[in-house]
């Protein structure tokens, strides 16, 4: 694995002489110049920088961002937990884009099989496709959640890029994608036929306005993800100017950190990427600083996981049964006694496929339970039922 990476020159970071014993600059075992490549024994999280921006539409330069993010991240202090994190350095830019993607997929596949969570920093969002391919060896279908102002579902006949990677994922064979969710799209950036396609595929897309007004609804969406892909352009330009596609509207910085923490808290999530951060457009390294704090919140969420996924023992849950008259259905909800989080039990159709077993317990919110109590079918239940068939 080491052959894919270049080491980090930590001595060039501002503040390196002032790292304390509880700052990540001292706690993270990294592939630094004059250091050996870190061992992966007893590791929970691995940081991976990617120097690849040749397919980042309107945002060339985002491959330079990993060290800018590290410079701020290493100054941050560990929370009340014993973190076990390695920084593997930066994946070298290959002779071709495909070389870089191959290297990233190979590295991620190794980490996933070792049950180490990769945190990808830098590069264009098309790297999500490489992340997706890394799951093929696990022989399971997965869910992807993208925090993005649009769907990145452009012409799939063109070469892979940051604006069509989702199309590439949908068309790839064998297909292991069970569900895709977009969080924070802005309607004026999305063609109507793309919205129609999302509906046809039973994917779910959530407008920025609804998410910002109901941030608690983001949590169950993210809790259902195996992969979270965060495009920094989903954050408003005033909070994250370092992006060639930044716009005036989007999530606030503190909301982005909240979403990152939700991702960390999810027992199901096994990889995350923070993409499209571009030092060329950044002001006072503000976007890199925000990305570093988002990574901090992800780590904080990870070390506060409740391990209360109800697929196993349900004895620690309160069970609620709700009858839907017009649909002749009974919906079963489970509420965790540990975390107060909610799930819906979606039954398999008669012709069910066992490969979808891990998807039938759907994370939801109290709002979904209230919807069922009003004799209405929650959208999440119906979409999942259709996909299980």
* Percentage of the chain exceeding pLDDT 90: 86
pLDDT at 354 over 70: no
Range of the domain at 33: 2-302
Q: Are residues 202 and 55 in the same domain?
A: yes
What's the whole-number mean pLDDT along residues 109-121? 98
Task: Answer yes or no: is 103 within a domain.
Answer: yes
Q: Are residues 335 and 288 in the same domain?
A: no
Q: Are residues 151 and 286 in the same domain?
A: yes
pLDDT at 360 over 90: no
Residues 187-201: pLDDT tens digits?
999 999 999 999 999
Q: What is the pLDDT of residue 311?
A: 75
pLDDT at 350 over 80: no
Q: What is the pLDDT of residue 387?
A: 85
pLDDT at 249 over 70: yes
pLDDT at 18 over 90: yes
Q: What is the pLDDT of residue 368?
A: 95
Q: What is the pLDDT of residue 353?
A: 57
Task: Answer yes or no: is 51 within a domain.
Answer: yes
Give the global pTM.
Answer: 0.96
Q: What is the pLDDT of residue 329?
A: 79
What's the whole-number mean pLDDT along residues 102-120? 98
Q: Are residues 274 and 371 in the same domain?
A: no
Residues 311-331: pLDDT tens digits?
777 788 999 999 988 767 799
What's the whole-number mean pLDDT along residues 56-71? 98
Q: What is the pLDDT of residue 109?
A: 97
Q: Are residues 233 and 358 in the same domain?
A: no
Instruction: Identify the CATH number of the domain in which residue 200 sits.
Output: 3.40.800.10
Residues 25-60: pLDDT tens digits?
999 999 999 999 999 999 999 999 999 999 999 999
Q: Are residues 280 and 339 in the same domain?
A: no
Q: What is the pLDDT of residue 172?
A: 94
Query: What is the Cα–Cα distance from 72 to 67, expressed in whole angstroms?
Result: 9
Name the domain boundary from 262, 279, 302. Answer: 302
What's the whole-number mean pLDDT along residues 331-360? 82
What's the whole-number mean pLDDT along residues 341-360? 76
Task: Answer yes or no: is 258 within a domain.
Answer: yes
Q: What is the pLDDT of residue 276?
A: 98
Q: Are residues 95 and 217 in the same domain?
A: yes
Please state, rounded to an integer, the average pLDDT across all residues of the chain. Answer: 94
Q: Are residues 156 and 269 in the same domain?
A: yes
């Amino acid at each position: 694995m080491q052959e894919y990476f270049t080491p980090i020159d930590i001595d060039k970071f501002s503040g390196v002489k002032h790292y304390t014993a509880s700052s990540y600059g001292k706690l993270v075992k990294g592939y630094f110049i004059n250091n050996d490549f870190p061992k992966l024994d007893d590791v929970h999280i691995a940081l991976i920088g990617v120097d690849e921006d040749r397919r980042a539409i309107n945002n060339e330069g985002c491959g330079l961002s990993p060290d800018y993010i590290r410079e701020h991240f290493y100054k941050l202090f560990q929370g009340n937990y014993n973190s076990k994190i390695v920084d593997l350095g930066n994946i070298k830019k290959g002779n071709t884009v495909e070389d870089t993607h191959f290297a990233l997929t190979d590295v991620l596949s190794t980490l996933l099989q070792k049950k180490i969570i990769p945190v990808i920093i830098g590069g264009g969002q098309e790297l999500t496709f490489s992340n997706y391919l890394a799951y093929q060896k696990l022989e399971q279908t997965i869910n992807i959640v993208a925090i993005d102002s649009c769907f990145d579902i452009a012409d799939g006949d063109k070469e892979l890029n940051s604006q069509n990677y989702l199309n590439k994922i949908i068309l790839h064979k064998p297909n292991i994608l069970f569900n895709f969710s977009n969080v924070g799209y802005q309607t004026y950036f999305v063609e109507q036929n793309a919205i129609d396609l999302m509906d046809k595929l039973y994917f779910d897309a959530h407008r920025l306005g609804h998410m910002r007004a109901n941030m608690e609804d983001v949590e169950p969406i993210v809790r259902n993800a195996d992969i979270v892909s965060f495009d920094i352009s989903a954050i408003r330009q005033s909070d994250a100017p370092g992006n060639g596609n930044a716009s005036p509207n989007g999530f606030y910085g503190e909301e982005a950190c909240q979403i990152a923490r939700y991702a960390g808290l999810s027992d199901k999530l096994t990889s995350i990427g923070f993409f499209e951060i571009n030092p060329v457009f950044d002001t006072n390294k503000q976007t890199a600083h925000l990305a570093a704090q988002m990574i901090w919140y992800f780590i904080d969420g990870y070390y506060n996981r409740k391990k209360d996924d109800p697929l196993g023992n349900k004895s620690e849950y309160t069970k609620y049964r709700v009858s839907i008259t017009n649909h002749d259905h009974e919906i079963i909800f489970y509420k965790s006694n540990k975390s107060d989080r909610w799930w819906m039990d979606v039954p398999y159709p008669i012709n069910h496929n066992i490969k979808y077993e891990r998807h039938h317990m759907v994370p939801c919110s109290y709002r979904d339970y209230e919807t069922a109590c009003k004799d209405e079918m929650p959208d999440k239940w119906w979409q999942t039922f259709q996909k299980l068939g």
